[in-house]
Amino acid sequence: MNFLGLSKNKTFKPKKNVPEGTKQQQLQKYAEATLGSGDLKLAVVLPEGENINEWYAVNTYDFFNQINMLYGTITEFCTPQECPVMSAGPQFEYYWSDGFKKPTKLSAPDYVDNLMEWVQHQLDDETLFPSKIGVPFPRNFPQLH
């Protein structure tokens, strides 16, 4: 178990996908099609006439899913014993501080587990990422991520 009470066997997958039959689902299909075209500039450009916040949300979900898949490929190799520190090279070490009074040193897998759970919580928060038709995004949505 990590600090958030998660089992190590937990697979990170958003609990809610883009709702079916919505503009967000259409945008997701568009994003998948343009990304598959090989033209990265086309893949990131807001489609004409579309809501920028919906575009951000769809791409945030997709990025999170892609990171989950990538992370899943290394979890068996990066164990707390093999990766006892979350770092970016020898000069930079990361400590987990969300919900703690004092930043806490964690192994790399525990740090990533906590980070992914924190992101999942943000994605599941209907006040940040509304999934119902007609519910507006927060005014400061672009600054939230």
CB-based contacts of 23, cutoff 8 Å, min separation 6:
50, 51, 54
Residue linked to tokens 């343009």: 34
Residue at 76: amino acid letter: E
Residue linked to tokens 């898949």: 69
Long-range contacts of 129-135 (CB under 8 A, 24+ apart): 129/57, 129/60, 131/16, 131/18, 131/19, 131/22, 131/24, 132/19, 133/19, 133/22
104 burial level (CB within 10 Å; 0-12, 13-18, 19+): middle
Q: Is 55 annotated as a binding residue?
A: no
Q: Which two tokens stand for residue 21?
A: 């039959």
Q: Is 99 annotated as a binding residue?
A: no
Residues that constitute the known binding site for Zn(2+): 78, 83
Residues that constitute the known binding site: 78, 83
